[in-house]
């Protein structure tokens, strides 16, 4: 009488793991998912419905201690007993699991055995609210064996009982001997159709321009379902927050399973300090998502953030006699305030002059001040301006002479202050022949570039004067800084402009880096700085699988290696997600998550349990982003397995 209901062949992505960060970056729409709950096996306890009595009638018992601490010589598992009783006395030992609010139970598999007297049976089934479905049962003496049902349909509970087959007193229930049943290694499939909600907060999600390090908060809420399992946020697809939430889970048979029916908290929030200097000045998209344990995604509405880490350019300019003026230019947040000050050359104290700020078009403005009565001698003039983000820039010059000479010098602009310069820079990849070419993933005119592991990258740009002419023969500094926590020294280089002001520099293969290009000025030229450049290098990871052909229930061995290059494998090992390609959506979904050893190598076993018919399964390994790892997400060449049910 033992039975099980089957379903369509599929891969169940029970192991959500850290790999969900990739989905949070790529997926907008949430979709219903499921998760596995382990009970009474693998060292895991049991969580029964407290509202339902474990026993009814006479001489019936249910012992749960065998789930975590079986008695010496006794098998592990739930022990159901109906002992001797008077004829006609009914006795039932019952275990019942209830789906958390907002979820249903759609499948179960477990191991059981029985030593049953005549007309006593062991029975299990799903409660869909109208009666039992997916029933399977045994009578007599049965050795330990596994049974199960999947795709049973939405049920509010799963129940297992040991009871008399003939009920009531009409026929009598003869229990002259004891009956015993053992049940263990139960895995329930819980369907979770409701996605969580996510909300962005903190200064970075607020209005206005941002610079430097800014706080970001991400909250998740999942009042019905498996609870919040992971939170992640990104700026233009670059992860800035990736956090696991503490949940009641365990890795069992190569997959992450819950050990409680609702394993994760209904609400969770995480905060992080985001270094905005890693992004180019301008407008960016901030996205934040939360995932529940079933794999449903809830994303907050994308927010636009404005970043400006470059100070305004300040240059003294011509003014009517008796006045002093300075031009302020800021292409992003724009000039916001400024002042002009003077001091004698033999004094360290500056005196501010009442100054007005007249805004112009295209992010420009002019600072104007009436010149005070200056005595004969040497004086310094200083103009300081801040932009809308709070960055400050300044310029100064020295003038000497009579009172009339000082007035003429101040009105004439900035003799000796340095002529204005402008510096531009971009990142370029290279083709197989070494020729410059924009690589896949570049945007912002070369301000951000994503390249494969081991790729050389070029920095190209131009230094020009205030009229757009090239400035030749001047040294430009290039600093390449790895991400924070990478424990790698910055690379500092120097390159000289050609006759047209152009320069080019090759960066050797390495990790992701933030590239800063600057000109110190001098010899009549003002200093200049280009907008920051972001170089993202994908991690290198390999994947091998053996065997390539197997049957449902067999295990495959995955192995591979993450190449650290000049970086180091994290002390705890590098996180790697083995993913499969979901044909219906065309997206890669996580199957299991492993950590490498100290040398970057990993090995893991995975068992296919849900395949009927024949299936070709495409898999790859992805090295996941994490703190202190100086590479962007990178994936291996896919491998294909053939699995037959």
Percent helix / strand / coil, the chain, rounded to 5: 5, 50, 45
Question: Rounded to whole angstroms, how far apart are CA atoms 147 and 108?
Answer: 8
Torsion, Cα 621 622 623 627, to 10 degrees, reads -140
User: Could you tell me if 277 and 153 lie in one domain?
Assistant: no
What is the CA angle 63-187-581, rounded to 5?
170
Residue among 331, 332, 376, 385 nearest 355 (CA): 385
Residues 407, 432, single domain; the answer is no
In this structure, is residue 178 part of a structural domain?
yes
At residue 437, the pLDDT reads: 40
Residue 600 lies in a domain: yes
Look-up: residue for tokens 């029970």?
14
* Residue 67 DSSP code: G
| CA 32 to chain CA mean position, Å | 20
What pLDDT is recorded for position 2?
34
At 277, is the secondary structure helix, strand, or coil? helix
Using CA atoms in the order 313, 316, 317, 321, what is the torsion angle rounded to 10 degrees?
150
pLDDT on residue 493: 87
Name the token pair of 396: 């100064």
Q: What is the spatial distance between Cα 277 and Cα 389, in angstroms, rounded to a whole number?
A: 13
In the chain, the N- to C-terminal Cα span, in Å, equals: 23
Scanning 369-446, the segments in alpha helix (DSSP H) are: 403-412
85 and 182 co-located in one domain: yes
Instruction: Please give the residue range of the domain that contains residue 545.
Output: 540-644
Among 412, 429, 460, the domain-final residue is 412
Count CB-CB contacts under 10 A for residue 617.
18
Phi-psi region of 293 (alpha: psi -120 to 50; beta: other; left: phi over 0): alpha
Is residue 609 one of the residues assigned to a domain? Answer: yes
| CATH number for the domain harbouring residue 94 | 2.60.120
Please tell me whether residues 188 and 206 are part of one structural domain. Answer: no
Whether residue 104 is found in the same domain as residue 43: yes
* Co-location of 171 and 92 in the same domain: yes
Residue 3 lies in a domain: no
My answer on whether 465 and 520 are in the same domain is yes
Question: Do 63 and 159 reside in the same domain of the chain?
Answer: yes
CB atoms under 10 Å from CB of 167, counted, come to: 11
| Alpha carbon distance 301, 201 (integer Å) | 12
Contact between 504 and 458 (Cβ < 8 Å): yes
Q: Answer yes or no: is 7 within a domain.
A: no
Residue 6 counted as domain residue: no
Q: Residue 12: inside a domain, yes or no?
A: no
Q: What is the pLDDT of residue 482?
A: 84
Reduce the DSSP state of residue 111 to 3 states and report it.
Answer: strand
Radius of gyration of the CA atoms of the chain, in A? 35
Helix (H) or strand (E) holding 442, with range, is none
pLDDT for the residue numbered 436: 40
**Residue that terminates a domain, selected from 146, 167, 192:** 192
Q: In 10 A of CB 40, how many CB atoms?
A: 24
> Is the CB of residue 345 less than 8 Å from the CB of residue 381?
no
Q: Look at residues 192, 208, 243 and tell me which one is the last residue of a structural domain.
A: 192
What is d(CA 405, CA 401) in angstroms, rounded to the nearest whole number?
A: 5
Burial degree of 87 (CB within 10 A; 0-12, 13-18, 19+): exposed
Q: Do residues 41 and 170 share a domain?
A: yes
- Residues whose CB is less than 8 angstroms from the CB of residue 519 and which lie 6 or more positions away in sequence, other chains included: 421, 423, 463, 474, 475, 476, 477, 525, 527, 528, 529
Encoded tokens for 294: 């079933």
Pair 181, 55 in one domain? yes
Distance set, CA 352 to CA 294, 369, 380 (Å)? 63, 10, 12
- The per-residue pLDDT for range 13-68, each reduced to its tens digit, is 222 222 333 333 333 333 348 899 999 999 899 999 999 999 998 899 999 999 98
Q: Give residue for tokens 């994503």.
A: 450
CA distance 173 to 164: 6
Contact (CB, 8 A) for 293 and 227: yes
Give yes or no: residues 49 and 162 share one domain: yes
Over 485-539, what HEC string results? Answer: CCCCCCEEEEEECCCCCEEEEEECCCCCEEEEEEECCECCECCEECCCEEEEEEC
- The span from the CA of 455 to the CA of 422, in Å, is 29
Q: Which of 273, 282, 271, 561 minimizes the C-alpha distance to 445? A: 282
Q: Report pTM.
A: 0.62
Q: What total number of domains does the chain contain?
A: 5
Low-confidence ranges of the chain (pLDDT < 70): 1-32, 166-172, 413-419, 430-446, 484-487, 522-524
What CATH number should be reported for the domain holding residue 518? 2.60.40.10
* Residues 512/632, Cβ–Cβ less than 8 Å: yes
The predicted pLDDT at position 429 comes to 84
CATH number at residue 559: 2.60.40.1930
Phi first, then psi: give them for residue 440, nearest 5 degrees: -60, 135
Omega within 30 of 0 (cis) for the link into 547: yes
Q: pLDDT value at position 485?
A: 58
Does residue 176 share a domain with residue 56?
yes
Is residue 333 within 8 Å of 389, Cβ to Cβ? yes
Residue 9 lies inside a defined structural domain of this protein: no
């Amino acid at each position: 009488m033992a039975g099980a209901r089957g379903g369509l062949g599929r891969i169940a992505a029970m192991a959500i793991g850290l790999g969900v960060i990739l989905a949070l970056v790529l997926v907008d729409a949430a979709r219903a998912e499921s998760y596995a709950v382990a009970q009474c096996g693998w060292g895991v306890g049991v969580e029964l419905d407290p509202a339902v009595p474990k026993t009814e009638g006479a001489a019936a018992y249910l012992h749960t201690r065998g789930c975590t601490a079986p008695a010496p010589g006794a098998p592990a598992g739930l022990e159901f007993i109906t002992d001797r009783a008077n004829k006609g006395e009914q006795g039932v030992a019952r275990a019942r699991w209830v789906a958390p609010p907002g979820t249903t139970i759609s499948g179960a598999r477990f191991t059981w055995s029985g030593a049953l007297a005549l007309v006593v049976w062991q029975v299990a089934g799903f409660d869909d609210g109208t009666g039992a479905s997916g029933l399977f049962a045994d009578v007599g003496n049965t050795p330990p064996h596994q049974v199960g049902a999947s795709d049973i349909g939405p049920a509010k509970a799963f129940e297992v009982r040991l009871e008399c087959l003939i009920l009531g007193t009409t026929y009598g229930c003869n229990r002259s001997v004891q009956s015993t049943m053992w049940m263990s290694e139960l895995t329930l499939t819980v369907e979770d159709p409701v996605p969580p909600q996510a909300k962005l907060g903190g200064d970075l999600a607020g209005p206005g321009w941002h610079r430097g390090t800014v706080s970001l908060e991400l909250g998740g809420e999942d009042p019905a379902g498996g609870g919040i399992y992971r939170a992640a946020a990104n700026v233009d697809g670059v992860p800035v927050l990736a956090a696991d939430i503490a949940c009641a889970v365990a890795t069992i048979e190569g997959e992450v399973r819950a050990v409680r029916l609702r394993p994760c908290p209904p609400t969770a929030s995480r905060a992080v300090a985001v270094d905005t200097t890693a992004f180019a000045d301008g407008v960016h998209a901030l996205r934040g998502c939360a995932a529940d344990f079933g794999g449903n995604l809830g994303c907050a509405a994308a927010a636009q953030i404005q970043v400006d880490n470059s100070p305004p350019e300040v240059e003294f300019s011509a003014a009517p006699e008796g006045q002093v003026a300075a031009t302020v230019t800021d292409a992003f947040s724009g000039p916001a305030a400024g002042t002009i000050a003077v001091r004698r050359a033999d004094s360290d104290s500056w005196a501010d002059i009442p100054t007005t700020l007249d805004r112009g078009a295209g992010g420009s403005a002019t600072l104007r001040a009436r010149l005070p009565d200056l005595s004969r001698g040497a004086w310094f003039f200083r103009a300081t301006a801040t932009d809308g983000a709070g960055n400050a820039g300044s310029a100064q010059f020295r003038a000497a002479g009579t009172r009339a000479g000082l007035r003429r010098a101040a009105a004439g602009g900035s003799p000796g202050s340095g002529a204005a310069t402008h510096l531009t820079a971009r990142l370029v990849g290279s083709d197989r022949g070494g020729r410059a070419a924009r690589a896949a993933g570049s945007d912002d005119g070369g301000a951000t570039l994503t390249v494969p592991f081991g790729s050389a990258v070029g920095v190209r740009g131009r230094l020009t004067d205030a009229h757009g002419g090239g400035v030749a023969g001047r040294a430009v500094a290039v600093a390449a800084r790895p991400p924070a926590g990478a424990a790698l020294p910055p690379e500092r280089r120097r390159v000289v402009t050609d006759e047209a002001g152009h320069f080019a520099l090759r960066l050797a293969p390495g990790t992701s880096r933030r590239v800063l290009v600057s000109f110190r000025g001098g010899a009549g030229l003002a200093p200049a700085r280009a907008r920051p450049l972001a170089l993202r290098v994908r991690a290198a990871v390999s994947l091998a699988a053996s065997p390539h052909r197997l049957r449902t229930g067999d295990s495959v061995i995955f192995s591979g290696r993450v190449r650290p290059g000049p970086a180091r494998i994290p002390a705890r090992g590098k996180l790697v997600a083995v993913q499969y390609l979901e044909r219906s959506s065309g997206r890669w979904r996580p199957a299991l998550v492993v950590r490498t050893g100290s040398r970057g190598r990993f090995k893991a076993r995975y068992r296919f349990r849900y395949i009927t018919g024949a299936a070709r399964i495409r898999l790859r390994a992805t090295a996941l982003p994490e703190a202190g790892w100086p590479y962007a997400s990178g994936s291996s060449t896919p491998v294909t397995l053939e699995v037959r049910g």
